[in-house]
């Protein structure tokens, strides 16, 4: 079996948000009557990107949030609900890539799990700079198809005018790197499976599963789901694949898990 050679997890800090957005869980985010006056928990909604080195090229998976989030997200109003305010200078995506000695021209591909503003927030910095930009075909169709400047956390200012290549279905994209269609969160959300020689399989769920507490079984949904029955089916699809491949499953916004991983620039997976 073909494998990738090296994988770097880029910890890009965190947004802050009401946990209820991420986890509709009675007793954790949703309060019982005995706790009805207890404030809701605000959670560090961590954001990460991944660099994968393969014999077929080097790719970046997701681009995190932009430095100008507060003004760029202003039309959506969501900057008040998901402020990207737990981030230090060395955690922004551009800083993380610099720490690895990687400039835009050193990447062959930039692949987006979906086009929400906390995943596509920096994709424009790679447009025309060398890498091919890739997204799922159903995500592209949806993200370019609605009327107006934004829809939820899809914000055309992030990606309008950019030429994306598309992938469709479940595909092996590079040696040891496969994309798995996992719709529900958005119409074209993808997860990524990476096979490594020593580590074995890793599955990056992106927003198909926000956090370990949501994964179950049984799975617990979130407040932002485009299609709930598709979402449940995608979680079970990921679970089957993870079990078959004995994979480490890395969730999209799980602070505790992210901080337990080997992270760039100090650590990597091989
Ligand atoms: Zn999302």
Which pLDDT tens digit goes with each residue over 226-269? 999 999 999 999 999 999 999 999 999 999 999 999 999 999 99
User: Cα of 118 to ligand 1 centre, how many Å?
Assistant: 7
**The domain over range 6-260 is classified in CATH as 3.60.15.10:** yes
Among the residues of 105-182, which ranges form H helices?
A: 137-145, 156-159
CA of 34 to the centre of ligand 1 (A): 32
Q: Residue 250 C-alpha to ligand 1 middle, in angstroms? A: 15
Residue 40 pLDDT: 87
Report the pLDDT averaged over residues 108-120: 98
* Centroid of ligand 1 to alpha carbon of 115 (angstroms): 7
- pLDDT single digits (tens) 36-62: 999 989 999 999 999 999 999 999 999
Residue 188, pLDDT > 90, answer yes
Asked whether the beta carbons of 73 and 23 are under 8 A apart, the reply is no
Distance of CA 33 from the midpoint of ligand 1 (Å): 31
Does residue 224 carry a pLDDT above 90?
no
**How large is the average pLDDT for residues 13-25?**
96
Instruction: Characterize the bridge pairing of strands 177-181 and 57-61.
Output: unpaired
How many A from CA of 201 to the centre of ligand 1? 23
- pLDDT (average), residues 81-94: 98
For residue 107, report the distance from its CA to the centre of ligand 1, in Å.
23
Looking at the chain, the whole-number percentage of residues with pLDDT higher than 90 is 97
Distance 146 CA to ligand 1 centre (A): 17
Residue-averaged pLDDT of the chain: 97
Q: Do the beta carbons of residue 3 and residue 23 sit within 8 Å?
A: no
CA atoms within 13 A on the CB side of 68: 8
């Amino acid at each position: 079996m073909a494998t990738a050679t090296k994988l770097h997890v880029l910890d890009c800090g965190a947004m802050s948000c009401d946990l209820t957005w991420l986890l509709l869980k009675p007793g954790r985010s949703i309060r019982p009557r005995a706790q009805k006056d207890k404030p809701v928990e605000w959670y560090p909604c961590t954001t990460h990107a991944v660099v994968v080195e393969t014999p077929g090229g080097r790719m970046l998976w997701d681009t995190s949030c932009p430095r100008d989030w507060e003004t760029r997200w202003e039309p959506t109003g969501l900057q008040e609900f998901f402020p990207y305010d737990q981030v230090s200078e060395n955690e922004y995506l551009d800083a993380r890539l610099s720490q690895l000695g990687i400039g835009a021209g050193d990447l062959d591909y930039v692949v987006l799990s979906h086009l929400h503003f906390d995943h596509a927030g920096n994709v424009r910095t790679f447009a025309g700079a060398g890498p091919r930009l890739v997204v799922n075909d159903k995500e592209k169709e949806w993200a370019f198809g609605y009327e107006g400047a934004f829809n939820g956390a899809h914000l055309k200012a992030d990606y309008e005018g950019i030429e994306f290549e598309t992938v469709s279905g479940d595909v092996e994209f590079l040696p040891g790197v496969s994309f798995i269609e996992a719709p529900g969160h958005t119409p074209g959300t993808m997860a990524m499976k990476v096979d490594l020689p020593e580590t074995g399989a890793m599955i990056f769920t992106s927003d198909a599963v926000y956090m370990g507490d949501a994964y179950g079984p049984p799975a617990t949904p979130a407040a932002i789901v485009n299609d709930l029955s598709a979402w449940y089916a995608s979680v079970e699809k990921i679970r089957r694949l993870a079990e078959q491949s004995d994979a480490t499953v890395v969730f999209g916004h799980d602070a505790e898990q992210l901080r337990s991983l080997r992270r760039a620039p100090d650590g990597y997976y091989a």
